[in-house]
Structure 1
Amino acid sequence: MKKIKYNKALEELEQIVAEIENEEISVDDLAEKVERASKLIQACKDTLSKTEADVDKILSGLNEDE
């Protein structure tokens, strides 16, 4: 999966959930949509983890300067 921006992934996830909730997805397409949602969730988790690590690193640098 190519790199996708967090907000774009979240938007697509929300769309998939809405389609499932509104029963707009056929049974034939459900597995494909669930697989796509799984990949989007992983991409979001990866982005959040990286952002958290970056913020922690920045904050640690600030604490060292004190």
Structure 2
Amino acid sequence: MSEQIKYTEAFDELQNIVAEIEQGEISVDELSEKVKRAAYLIKVCKIKLTTTEEDVNKILRGLDSSTENIS
């Protein structure tokens, strides 16, 4: 699965899958595919969150170092 999916899309789809499973709206035959898709979506969300955290930390470090040079 090499599709490009945005965090919010992945999260929304994941919530829908969880709701379907909780409400018993899917058959046993579909359950395996839903669980595989959910695992993929969790991975996508985790990677995007980690990447965003790293980007924010880089920006903050850059701000800290530029502030130090001003003093």
Q: Which TM-score tier does this pair reach, normalised by the shorter chain?
A: over 0.9
CA drift at 1:43: 0.2
Describe the SS at the equivalent of 1:42.
Answer: helix
| TM-score (normalizing by structure 2) | 0.91
- 2:65 aligned partner, one-letter code: E
- Higher Cα Rg: structure 1 or 2? 2
Q: How many residues align structurally?
A: 66
* Unpaired segments ≥5 residues, structure 2: none
Residue in structure 2 matched with residue 25 of structure 1 by the alignment:
26
Q: In structure 1, what is the Cα distance between the partners aligned to 2:25 and 2:54?
A: 38
Q: Percent identity?
A: 58
Q: 4+ residue runs of structure 1 moved beyond 4 angstroms?
A: none
